[in-house]
């Protein structure tokens, strides 16, 4: 695959490694990058033997959010309608990641700013290199956190920290992000891709349908009372109990051997 592509995709053992690839712009999003990323995620969704996704960035950054050179208003003219951009590009991307029927791991290899931070945070399991920083950069340019930021942040770290990060645009280092519960883990820079790859491989070898149901239940929990959620768990467990992977899981336990999940 040519290295001029805005997003690279490589098949690994059971998972798709997807790399944002505009390193000279700190992997900031332009329209082409949105379409390329969504295309690779769709491929991963639709390909049975891709059973997880690992998302990362090329170069020293994960992603600096919207490419602001595409928003240059110095020549005059009307302000861009950013609602349209969210409707057509950012929101469908977040929805795709959150509804994807396979685990999405994010390896935040460097700075994650603006929508770049919130797209990382909407992935299922987020690891970050020790040198990475999360920046809700929006306030610095007069915007509000988007790509799910104002929904995710208070849920992950509470209102006090969410408001402070969003309103100051202060960078948050990866170690603090992990200690606050914003992400799963902070790892030494040199170990990030190995650890994230091992995790993606482990998930890809897991009971894919059970993992997808687990992801949906945890996301759904925020929006419904326990009483209703217990019914959702019952329905999901009913589905999980009918999978070949459940049968294999129980059989392998009884036979005292590792499970060989097929994802079906
Ligand atoms: O617009 C819509 O459609 C609505 C949706 C909005 C979503 C958003 O994401 S809004 C938020 C946009 N992002 C930002 O405001 C972040 C802007 N970038 C920064 O604040 C800093 O670059 C960083 C804190 C991320 C990193 O700082 P640093 O010092 O490590 O690097 P740098 O020198 O600022 O950047 C390196 C290069 O990348 C530089 O280019 P140059 O001078 O080497 O030619 C810089 O201009 C470029 N770059 C970084 N971020 C962006 C960017 N170019 C375009 N757009 C960017 N977002």
Ligand 1 atom having least distance to the Cα of 89:
3
Distance CA 51, CA 55 (A): 14
Counting Cα atoms < 13 Å in the Cβ hemisphere of 11 gives: 8
- As given in the structure block, the two tokens for residue 68 are 């602001």
Residue showing tokens 């650890």: 195
Say if residue 143's pLDDT is above 90: yes
Q: Over the chain, what is the mean pLDDT?
A: 97
Report the residue among 64, 70, 150 best suited for mutation to probe ligand 1: largest number of ligand atoms under 8 A from its CB.
64
pLDDT bin (cut points 50, 70, 90) of residue 3 is: low
- Dihedral sign computed on CA atoms, order 115, 116, 117, 120: positive
Report the residue among 6, 21, 26, 110 best suited for mutation to probe ligand 1: largest number of ligand atoms under 8 A from its CB.
26
pLDDT bin (cut points 50, 70, 90) of residue 4 is: confident
Ligand 1 centroid vs 1 CA: distance in angstroms? Answer: 26
Q: Domains in the chain, please, with CATH? A: 7-204 (3.90.226.10), 208-254 (1.10.12)
The protein residue with its alpha carbon nearest to ligand 1, atom 6, reads 66
Alpha helices in the chain (DSSP H): 31-46, 82-85, 91-99, 115-121, 149-157, 159-168, 174-180, 192-204, 208-221, 226-241, 244-254
CB neighbour class for 216 (10 Å; exposed up to 12, middle 13-18, buried from 19): middle
Ligand 1 centroid vs 127 CA: distance in angstroms? Answer: 22
Report the residue among 113, 141, 172, 173 best suited for mutation to probe ligand 1: largest number of ligand atoms under 8 A from its CB.
113
The pLDDT of 79-97, averaged and rounded, is: 97
pLDDT > 70: percent of the chain: 99
The per-residue pLDDT for 178 is 98
Say if residue 236's pLDDT is above 60: yes
CB atoms < 10 A from the CB of 10, how many?
Answer: 12
- As given in the structure block, the two tokens for residue 66 are 């919207």
190-218 pLDDT, tens digit per residue, is 999 999 999 999 999 999 999 999 999 99
Say if residue 2's pLDDT is above 80: no
Ligand 1 centroid vs 25 CA: distance in angstroms? Answer: 7
């Amino acid at each position: 695959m040519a290295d001029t592509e805005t997003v690279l995709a490589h098949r690994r053992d059971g998972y798709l490694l997807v790399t944002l690839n505009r390193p000279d712009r700190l992997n900031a999003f332009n329209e082409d990058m949105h379409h390329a990323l969504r295309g690779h995620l769709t491929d991963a969704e639709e390909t049975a033997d891709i059973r997880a996704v690992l998302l990362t960035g090329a170069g020293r950054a994960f992603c600096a959010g919207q490419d602001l050179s595409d928003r240059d208003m110095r020549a005059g003219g009307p302000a861009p309608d950013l609602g349209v951009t969210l409707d057509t590009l950012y929101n469908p991307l977040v929805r795709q990641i959150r509804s994807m029927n396979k685990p999405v791991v994010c390896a935040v290899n460097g700075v994650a700013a603006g929508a770049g931070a919130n797209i990382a945070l909407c992935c299922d399991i987020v690891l970050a290199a020790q040198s990475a920083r999360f920046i809700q950069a929006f306030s610095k340019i007069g915007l509000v956190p988007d790509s799910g930021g104002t929904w995710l942040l208070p849920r992950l770290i509470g209102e006090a920290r969410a408001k402070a990060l969003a309103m100051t645009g202060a960078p948050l280092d990866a170690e603090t992000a992990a200690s606050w519960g914003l992400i799963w883990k902070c790892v030494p820079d040199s170990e990030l891709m190995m650890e994230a790859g091992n995790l993606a491989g482990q998930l890809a070898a897991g009971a894919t349908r059970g993992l997808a149901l687990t992801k949906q239940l945890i996301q759904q929990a925020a929006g419904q009372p326990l009483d209703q959620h217990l019914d959702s768990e019952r329905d999901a467990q009913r589905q999980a109990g009918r999978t070949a992977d459940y049968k294999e899981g129980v059989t392998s336990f009884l036979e005292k051997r590792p499970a060989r999940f097929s994802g079906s």
